[in-house]
Amino acid sequence: MAGEPWLTERHERMPLDRTATDDLRGVLTLGIVLMHTSLIWWGEWVICHNRDALNALAAVYMFLGIPSFFFLSGYVNAVSYRKWGFRPYLRRRLRRIGLPFLIGSAVCVPLMAYMDARFNEAGALWPAFLQRINPLHTKFTFYHLWFLYDLLLFALCMPFIHRAALHLVSGARRFHGLFILAYLAVHTIVYVAARVFQVTVVPMALIPVASVGLYLPIFMVGASCAWLDVTKLRPAILKSRYAVLWFCVGVCIGVALRVWASDTLITKVIAHAMYVPNAYAGVLCMLLLTTSVRLRIAPLAFIWRNPYRVYILHQPLLFVLGTLMPGSFPPWAGFAVTAIACLGILSMVSLLLDGRVSCPRSLHRFSGSASGPYDGTTQAGVRA
């Protein structure tokens, strides 16, 4: 790194310590559970009681939560890579993400593929099921595990991402607003081209061209914030006081394109292009609203403690709950009941897997404080 003079400057880091990153990861995981719950009652999901209904919660969270997850993952991965080096970093990533991904792929994907084929195919059940679990078939999908799959690909490419993030830091320091505008423009073009390429050339989940084209640049911005204070990028990307306003306007435009505009190539291109700046505005909204808040409340401590477990288990559980819930339920009541049931079951599973139901004392300790597993770890640093 001797040839990188900007690294000799005063070390500037985004003001996120371990407490903040754990809080943000837990909040975003909870938001994903609620978003997927809403898709059971409004939208176009595999199990849905009111198809084609407008789902405002999902529309908002697509711009806010998912880009924020990749931004936060980029920051955490960059800090871990710098601390451990590539091989120890990769071993930790494989243990933390790779093993859950393999288990989820072997257990959750076949279960969800079976339910998908059963409820959404008019023909024979088993041929449709086999198509959905065949990785080389165009109908194969990782379902919600695509997020972990992309993170694993990014971890394998971390040395290259690390170098690219260093150049992003250099460019951001030299050119400021001009650099950020150019970066957003290039990102928009790359994403739209990747989306078209995914649909026309490689419609396979094993080659996630579209999701990589969308989220890798956001991941790289998060990684660059391990060197550059994100507050110094806010004026260049978007004024902080206007972040929420731009985000609301972007969501309204996206919803309007979906509901009122005709489904043409032009409207699709505009909708995809709008995703990029709105995703960055969503990241800024996340930082503005949650970085300074301590959110570890006791009933939801199981999410903070192991968010990847919650992420892997929640969607197949929602599939099952969606088939059990009567479609005649009022949508808002059904949404509330389904969300509470899902979080309650996930909490009990976490208690069992963590061995916290062996005695009343452990239950009392869990319900009384959510900070037990984090004692002595509130110093600056990020859990890798």
The two three-digit tokens of residue 64, written as one number: 């806010």
pLDDT of residue 8: 35
| Spatial CA neighbour of 158 closest among 65, 67, 276, 73 | 73
**What is residue 51's three-state secondary structure?**
strand
> What tens digit of pLDDT does each residue of 277-301 get?
888 888 877 777 665 555 566 667 7
pLDDT at residue 329 tops 60: yes
Centroid of chain to Cα 261: 28
Mean pLDDT across 188-206: 89
> What tens digit of pLDDT does each residue of 25-38 get?
888 898 899 999 99
Q: Are 322 and 338 in contact (CB under 8 A)?
A: yes
The Cα 181–Cα 200 span in angstroms is 29
13-27, 54-68, 152-166: lowest mean pLDDT where?
13-27
| Amino acid letter for position 33 | V
> What tens digit of pLDDT does each residue of 243-267 get?
777 778 887 887 777 667 667 778 8
pLDDT at residue 11 tops 60: no
Q: Are 172 and 224 in contact (CB under 8 A)?
A: yes
The Cα 353–Cα 146 span in angstroms is 24
Own/partner pairs, 125-134, CB within 8 angstroms, 24+ separation: 133/109
pLDDT band at 241 (very low <50, low <70, confident <90, very high): low
Q: Could you tell me which residue, 325 or 156, shows the higher pLDDT? A: 156
Mean pLDDT across 110-129: 86
The two three-digit tokens of residue 288, written as one number: 């503005």
Mean pLDDT across 170-185: 78
The Cα 382–Cα 318 span in angstroms is 31
Mean pLDDT across 94-104: 91
* Mean pLDDT taken over the chain: 79
pLDDT at residue 372 tops 60: no
How many other CB atoms sit within 10 Å of the CB of residue 132? 22
Mean pLDDT across 190-209: 89
The Cα 21–Cα 291 span in angstroms is 8
Alpha helix locations (H) across the chain?
A: 18-41, 56-84, 86-93, 99-120, 125-132, 146-156, 158-175, 177-200, 209-224, 234-237, 240-259, 265-290, 301-305, 307-324, 331-353, 360-368
